[in-house]
């Protein structure tokens, strides 16, 4: 019988031990109100067991907790490992990691040890809903933990605190929080290099939560930027152990700086290819399929060439800047008359040339791969629903703005394997071996297509017999990036697979390969595989990209919070919300040919792909923002 100090209500604690292979011991603890007259043992309110009892006291019927005790001693690789792995686990109310990153954990023998000592010796504590401790429920809790805590997350050797320079501090906290949080939980000190006046520059208490220091520098993209970055790193005053960026325009200069300072980095020759969308296209295209022009005069001269390897346009085709991101100034051209306007739009962005390439018809996908010295540690494929420009008869002004992404992909396993292998081979051909890579592609001759299914919503479904391809499916590259997918696209991956791309990226930059391997291990549901999804996934997720419906001034307070109040049945499935405008903000409809995004919403289902598609469509239809 136990009670916290200074509280008169006693609680009865009972516990049961379980083992997750040789990874950790689990102590399931039941805390319930005790009967009057029971012997009482006092427990400090400041102890971990006291914290557990305090939480249990808020429930009349008691609570169930699980103590997580790793079997082996070691050093903490990620300070939030258990919390992240149990996010989205059915039945889990909360999970607390007790040790900070890099700290040493001392394993203990749980036999013949008091409960208070077990609680103080745990690496993490999990709080479950309900108070039922029937044997079958405890077994189910152990199974849920086993699927997710399936890798030893402690490193056997001591871990040193490191410092990284981040070039480009991101435009606001929402865009940068995934990077700053990853650095914090890895025990990495972050030094941000950006232009004078950046929001992270003031040395405030709030900014110090996100970075150790700030270096103001001229960020002009000229020939001197490499030398300015090198000097900034050297002048910081404390050792810097690596340099990285998530801003596409800086990848090549950052790689050159890293090589000059003997930091870990991908070859500059590889970055020269991925920084130029025309060079990237040549990794797959035959001569004559793709062209590059820097002016309308060059376009006119190109169209007059008649040699065997001359460019031969086949409509529809795509025109986009050789340097750019977020589908800015990308056009689908269906006739020769529209080609000059599309080229003019593309070369006007970033002052770069335009690439003219084939339009590939088929489901669009994101292919994300984690490599370690050429070995694939983790990969996933995400489906991107057709956008405005995909519609038949779409004009040259139609946009390629992302609208909906579904994870995991619903494509057939053989097509997924084919796409993974093709992108892996392209990465090797370019010269990459370690890091996080994000590619966008289309699956030509897929056996599936987007259409309205029997539940009334649009999703991938089998083609009719008359529409089945006569050729094998092919993965046609659209672009490849040497970074994680965008911050909003990466968050569903944490929910579905337990993978944090931004943490992996930093470990690759530091060359800490053991830590990288541990961080790149997804869930393992192979003993009870989900139907229609990879064994490494715990659920289905959909990212809804909400674009501004009109231009004007926002009249609404948090539309998603209003949606949750009106539709509590949908609220329980909404796991992440980022809203990018507030009441009183002026919102444009388009920015550089891309629809302005006002919100990202992640919806999750543990039932099926079909269920998450239905939920996502209901959330989209229920989201209302008043712009006048």
Closest CA to 438 of 395, 479, 385: 479
Beta bridge partners of 577: 601
109 within a domain of the structure (yes/no): yes
Find out whether 447 and 461 touch, Cβ atoms under 8 Å. no
Neighbours of 527 (CB within 10 A): 9
Q: Are residues 244 and 195 in the same domain?
A: yes
Unique residue bearing structure tokens 């169209």: 303
Please state, in angstroms and rounded to a whole number, the distance separating the CA atoms of residues 424 and 371.
Answer: 9
Q: Are residues 371 and 520 in the same domain?
A: yes
Please state, in angstroms and rounded to a whole number, the distance separating the CA atoms of residues 238 and 165.
Answer: 11
Which 3-state string (H, E, C) describes 483-508? CCCCHHHHHHHHHHHCCCHHHHHHHH
199 within a domain of the structure (yes/no): yes
pLDDT > 70: percent of the chain:
96
Please state, in angstroms and rounded to a whole number, the distance separating the CA atoms of residues 433 and 455.
Answer: 43
Domain count, the chain: 5
Q: Are residues 125 and 250 in the same domain?
A: no
Q: Are residues 346 and 316 in the same domain?
A: yes
Q: Is 478 helix (H, G, I), strand (E, B) or coil?
A: strand
**What pLDDT sits at residue 5?**
45
pLDDT tens track for 336-374: 999 999 999 888 766 789 999 999 999 999 999 999 999
Which 3-state string (H, E, C) describes 304-370? HCCCCCCCCCCCCEEEEECCCCCCCCCEEECCHHHHHHHHHHHHCCCCCCEEEEECCCCCEEEEEEE
Here the CATH number for the domain that contains residue 613 is 3.90.1170.30
Q: Are residues 78 and 114 in the same domain?
A: yes
328 within a domain of the structure (yes/no): yes
Q: Are residues 519 and 546 in the same domain?
A: no
398 within a domain of the structure (yes/no): no
407 within a domain of the structure (yes/no): no
Tokens for 273, please give them.
């290819």
Q: In sequence order, what are the residues at sequence separation of 6 or more whose Cβ sits closer than 8 angstroms to the Cβ of residue 58?
A: none
Please state, in angstroms and rounded to a whole number, the distance separating the CA atoms of residues 39 and 43.
Answer: 13
73 within a domain of the structure (yes/no): yes
329 within a domain of the structure (yes/no): yes
Q: Are residues 331 and 442 in the same domain?
A: no
For the residues of 545-594, what is the DSSP string, one character each? EEEPSSSEEB--S-HHHHHHHH-HHHHTTEEEEEE---TT-EE-SEETTE
pLDDT tens track for 548-583: 999 999 998 899 999 999 999 999 999 999 999 999
Measuring CA to CA, how many Å separate 436 from each of 125, 206, 375, 399, 504? Answer: 31, 29, 12, 28, 7
406 within a domain of the structure (yes/no): no
Q: Is 616 helix (H, G, I), strand (E, B) or coil?
A: helix
Task: Give the Cα-Cα-Cα angle 608, 613, 617 (nearest 5 degrees).
Answer: 150
Here the CATH number for the domain that contains residue 240 is 3.40.50.20
**What pLDDT sits at residue 469?**
78
Residue where one domain finishes, among candidates 155, 181, 201 = 155
Q: Are residues 169 and 245 in the same domain?
A: yes
Please state, in angstroms and rounded to a whole number, the distance separating the CA atoms of residues 290 and 310.
Answer: 9
Q: Are residues 523 and 600 in the same domain?
A: no
Here the CATH number for the domain that contains residue 425 is 3.30.470
Give the pLDDT band (50/70/90) at residue 6.
very low
Give exposure, 455-483, as e/b (b: 16+ Cβ within 10 Å): eeeebbeeeeeeeeeeeebbbbbbbbbbb
Find out whether 615 and 540 touch, Cβ atoms under 8 Å. no
Q: In sequence order, what are the residues at sequence separation of 6 or more whose Cβ sits closer than 8 angstroms to the Cβ of residue 301?
A: none
Beta bridge partners of 71: none
State how beta strands 586-587 and 594-595 pair.
unpaired
Residue where one domain finishes, among candidates 155, 179, 203 = 155
pLDDT tens track for 107-138: 999 888 899 999 999 999 999 998 888 999 99
Q: Are residues 298 and 220 in the same domain?
A: no
pLDDT tens track for 418-466: 999 999 999 999 999 999 999 999 999 999 999 988 777 899 999 987 6
Q: Which domain holds residue 246?
A: 162-265
Here the CATH number for the domain that contains residue 347 is 3.30.1490.20
Give the distance from CA 438 to its chain's centroid: 10
Q: Are residues 151 and 167 in the same domain?
A: no
Residue where one domain finishes, among candidates 496, 531, 566 = 531
Q: Are residues 510 and 373 in the same domain?
A: yes
């Amino acid at each position: 019988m136990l009670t916290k100090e200074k509280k008169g209500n006693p609680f009865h604690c009972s516990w049961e031990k379980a083992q997750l292979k040789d990874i950790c011991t689990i102590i399931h603890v039941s805390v319930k109100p005790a009967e009057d007259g029971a012997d009482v043992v006092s427990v400090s309110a400041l102890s971990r067991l006291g914290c557990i009892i305090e939480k249990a006291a808020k429930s009349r019927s008691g609570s169930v907790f699980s103590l997580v005790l790793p079997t082996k001693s070691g050093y903490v690789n990620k300070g939030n490992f258990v919390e992240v792995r149990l996010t989205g686990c059915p039945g889990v109310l909360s999970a607390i990691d007790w040790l900070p990153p890099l700290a040493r954990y001392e394993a203990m023998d749980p036999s013949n040890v008091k409960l208070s000592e077990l609680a103080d010796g745990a690496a993490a504590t999990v709080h479950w809903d309900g108070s039922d401790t029937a044997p079958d429920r405890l077994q189910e809790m152990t199974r849920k933990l086993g699927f997710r805590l399936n890798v030893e997350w402690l490193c056997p050797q001591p871990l040193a605190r490191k410092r990284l320079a981040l070039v480009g501090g991101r435009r606001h906290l929402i865009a940068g929080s995934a990077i700053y949080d990853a650095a914090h939980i890895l025990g990495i000190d972050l030094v941000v290099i950006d232009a004078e006046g950046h929001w992270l520059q003031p040395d405030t208490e709030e900014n110090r939560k996100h970075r150790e220091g700030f270096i103001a520098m001229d960020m002009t993209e000229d020939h001197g930027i490499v030398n300015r970055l090198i000097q900034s790193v050297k002048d910081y005053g404390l050792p810097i152990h690596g340099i990285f960026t998530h801003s596409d325009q800086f990848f090549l200069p950052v790689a050159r700086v890293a090589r000059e300072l003997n930091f870990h980095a991908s070859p500059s020759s590889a970055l020269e290819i991925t920084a130029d969308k025309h060079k990237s296209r040549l990794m797959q295209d035959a001569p004559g399929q793709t062209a590059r022009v820097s002016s309308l005069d060059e376009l006119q001269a190109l169209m007059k060439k008649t040699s065997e390897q001359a460019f031969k346009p086949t409509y529809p085709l795509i025109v986009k800047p050789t340097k750019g991101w977020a589908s800015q100034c990308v056009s689908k051209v269906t006739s020769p008359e529209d080609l000059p306007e599309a080229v003019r739009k593309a070369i006007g962005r970033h002052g770069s040339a335009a690439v003219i390439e084939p339009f590939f018809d088929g489901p669009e996908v994101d292919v994300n791969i984690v490599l370690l010295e050429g070995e694939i540690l983790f990969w996933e494929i995400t489906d991107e629903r057709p956008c405005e420009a995909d519609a038949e008869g779409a004009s040259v002004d139609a946009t390629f703005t992302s609208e909906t992404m579904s994870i995991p992909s619903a494509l057939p396993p053989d097509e997924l394997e084919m796409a993974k292998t093709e992108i892996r081979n392209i990465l090797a051909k370019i010269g990459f071996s370690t890091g996080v890579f994000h590619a966008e592609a289309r699956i030509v001759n897929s056996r599936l297509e987007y259409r309205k299914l029997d539940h009334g919503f649009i999703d991938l479904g089998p083609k009719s017999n008359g529409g089945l391809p006569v050729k094998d499916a092919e993965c046609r590259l659209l672009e490849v990036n040497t970074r994680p997918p965008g911050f909003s696209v990466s968050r569903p991956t944490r929910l579905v697979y337990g993978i944090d791309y931004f943490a992996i990226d930093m470990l690759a930059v530091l060359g800490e390969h053991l830590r990288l391997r541990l961080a790149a291990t997804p869930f393992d549901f192979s003993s009870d595989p989900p139907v229609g999804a990879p064994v490494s996934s715990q659920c289905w997720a959909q990212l809804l990209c909400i674009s501004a419906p009109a231009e004007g001034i926002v009249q609404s307070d948090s539309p998603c919070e209003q949606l949750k109040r009106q539709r509590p049945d949908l609220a329980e499935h909404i796991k992440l919300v980022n809203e990018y405008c507030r009441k009183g903000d002026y919102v444009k409809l388009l920015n550089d040919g891309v629809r302005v995004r006002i919100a990202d919403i992640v919806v999750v289902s543990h039932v099926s792909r079909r269920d998450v598609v239905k939920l996502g469509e209901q959330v989209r239809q229920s989201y209302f923002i008043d712009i006048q």
